[in-house]
Amino acid sequence: MGMTMTQKILAAHAGLDSVSAGQLIEADLDLVLGNDITSPVAIHEMDKMEGRGVFDKDKIALVMDHFVPNKDIKSAQHCKCVREFACKHEITNYFDVGEMGIEHALLPEKGLTVAGDVIIGADSHTCTYGALGAFSTGVGSTDMAAGMATGKAWFKVPSAIKFNIVGKPSKWVSGKDVILHIIGMIGVDGALYKSMEFVGEGIRNLSMDDRFTIANMAIEAGGKNGIFPVDDVAIQYMKEHSKREFTIYEADPDAEYDEEYTIDLSQLKPTVAFPHLPENTRTVDEVGDIQIDQVVIGSCTNGRLDDLRIAAEILRGNKVAKGVRCIVIPATQKIYLDAMEEGLIRDFIEAGAIVSTPTCGPCLGGYMGILAEGERCVSTTNRNFVGRMGHVESEIYLASPAVAAASAITGTLSGPKE
């Protein structure tokens, strides 16, 4: 019986000739990731290991990105804990104020994630790196602690769903619309503990930023991971950003999939997830009259340079509607600088938006965009659960940067003009 792409990566890292769905394995890790919220818990668990050090100071990444710059005393204490741990263990890849970015944009940019890797992170959106052909998945802080100490993790080998991507998207359709369409189709538990494997000729029409967005939200369909084949676009990205060797794995022709779907990009429209689940999707021409109070363009899902370019193209020469707060958050310092050099930051500010230093803040209701009772936000983030961005009676509408920017101008949930 053949293996999927994910199964081949896991077999190689477990030192096995083959694995099958449901099998329990112990695999070697190429990278262990934590942030300022999840790392302190893992560090306290490591403290119980009686002085045991980290398995490899070069294969751990600690990114201060959720409440940074620190929003309060508690967040400052968390960062201090991680900072001291990083110093004690001489962690190579520790990213703090001035160097940090939103973790899932920063690590590929820094060349720390490449094809063929096995990566765990104490953050559910660690599945982002599947865009480069890696197996990456979110874990709890205790598993992160074990990973930092041993360089290994236990996995149940996932079965898989195949998504055959065909066609070419229209101008304002992006990776966010693709993954929202898929989640709307299969539901938030449609890929529960399964590998979402994306294949097909249509992938060539998706940029790396599109692919990062799609892989990022695999978890919102319940997926264990999302993964893309390694084509020329991915290889070029890795060569530009990383000095590491990478390994390309391909699914066997007789690999088994629980289900198969075909997604025709040419048929997709800009898509919005209504409150309070990512599966509650409608195309933008079906949304009706929804007045909004805030727009957030950023996050680990849609804070990359392509996202900012799209938003700026729509906002340029226009004004954010009276009474709407528009918050733009470049995902890394480099993205911020590139956007500034391209004039995008000027476009945002002249339109009446504000531009923040990189942070996850508003996405998880942390800071930099908390919603009050009854307020509505169009956000390019990844979750719209009850109370996710603030008050339990606020509402979040998940959308692409194009829809978010267009909505900021009209003051209502709107699609971009053709």
Q: For residue range 379-413, what is the model confidence (pLDDT) as tens digits? A: 999 999 999 999 999 999 999 999 999 999 999 99
Tell me, yes or no, whether 229 and 354 share the same domain: no
- pTM, to two decimals: 0.95
Tell me, yes or no, whether 322 and 369 share the same domain: yes
Kindly state whether residue 417 falls inside one of the protein's structural domains.
Answer: no
The pLDDT confidence band at residue 417, using thresholds 50, 70 and 90, is confident
Tell me, yes or no, whether 55 and 193 share the same domain: yes
Mean pLDDT of 64-68: 94
Predicted confidence (pLDDT) at residue 50 exceeds the cutoff of 80: no
Kindly state whether residue 222 falls inside one of the protein's structural domains.
Answer: yes
Tell me, yes or no, whether 145 and 106 share the same domain: yes
Burial of 244 (C-beta count, 10 Å sphere; 0-12/13-18/19+): middle
Kindly state whether residue 258 falls inside one of the protein's structural domains.
Answer: yes
Tell me, yes or no, whether 292 and 256 share the same domain: no
pLDDT of 154 reads 97
The pLDDT confidence band at residue 259, using thresholds 50, 70 and 90, is very high
Per-residue pLDDT of 219-244, as tens digits, reads: 999 999 999 999 999 999 999 999 99
How far apart are alpha carbons 275 and 4 in whole angstroms?
Answer: 34
Domain boundary residue, one of 263, 287, 316: 263
Predicted confidence (pLDDT) at residue 1 exceeds the cutoff of 80: no
Kindly state whether residue 11 falls inside one of the protein's structural domains.
Answer: yes
Q: 101, 108, 102, 93: which is closest to 236 by C-alpha? A: 108
Tell me, yes or no, whether 29 and 130 share the same domain: yes
H-state helical runs in 316-363: 333-341, 344-351
Tell me, yes or no, whether 354 and 285 share the same domain: yes
Tell me, yes or no, whether 52 and 120 share the same domain: yes
Contact 126, 226 (CB under 8 A): no
CATH of the domain at 213: 3.30.499.10
Give the chain's domain count.
2
Tell me, yes or no, whether 333 and 226 share the same domain: no
Kindly state whether residue 17 falls inside one of the protein's structural domains.
Answer: yes
pLDDT of 398 reads 98
Contact 35, 67 (CB under 8 A): no
Per-residue pLDDT of 179-233, as tens digits, reads: 999 999 999 999 999 999 999 999 999 999 999 999 999 999 999 999 999 999 9
The pLDDT confidence band at residue 49, using thresholds 50, 70 and 90, is confident
Kindly state whether residue 255 falls inside one of the protein's structural domains.
Answer: yes
Tell me, yes or no, whether 233 and 320 share the same domain: no
Give Cα separations from 175 to 268, 269, 281, 296, 401 (angstroms): 11, 11, 15, 17, 10
Predicted confidence (pLDDT) at residue 418 exceeds the cutoff of 90: no
- Identity (one letter) of the amino acid at 228? F
Predicted confidence (pLDDT) at residue 39 exceeds the cutoff of 90: yes
Kindly state whether residue 152 falls inside one of the protein's structural domains.
Answer: yes
Mean pLDDT of 107-134: 97
Q: What is the dihedral of CA 121, 122, 127, 128, to 10 degrees?
A: -80
pLDDT of 51 reads 72
Mean pLDDT of 53-62: 96
The pLDDT confidence band at residue 145, using thresholds 50, 70 and 90, is very high
Question: What kind and span of H or E run contains 246?
Answer: none
Q: Is the dihedral of CA 327, 180, 68, 76 positive or negative?
A: positive
Mean pLDDT of 124-133: 97
Tell me, yes or no, whether 256 and 277 share the same domain: no
Domain boundary residue, one of 235, 263, 291: 263
Kindly state whether residue 268 falls inside one of the protein's structural domains.
Answer: no
Q: Whole domain around residue 351: which residue ranges?
A: 273-410
CB 258: neighbour CB atoms within 10 A?
A: 13
Tell me, yes or no, whether 196 and 343 share the same domain: no
pLDDT of 4 reads 97
The pLDDT confidence band at residue 252, using thresholds 50, 70 and 90, is very high
Mean pLDDT of 278-298: 95
Mean pLDDT of 5-16: 98
How far apart are alpha carbons 357 and 360 in whole angstroms?
Answer: 10
Domain boundary residue, one of 263, 296, 314: 263
Indicate the average pLDDT of the chain: 96
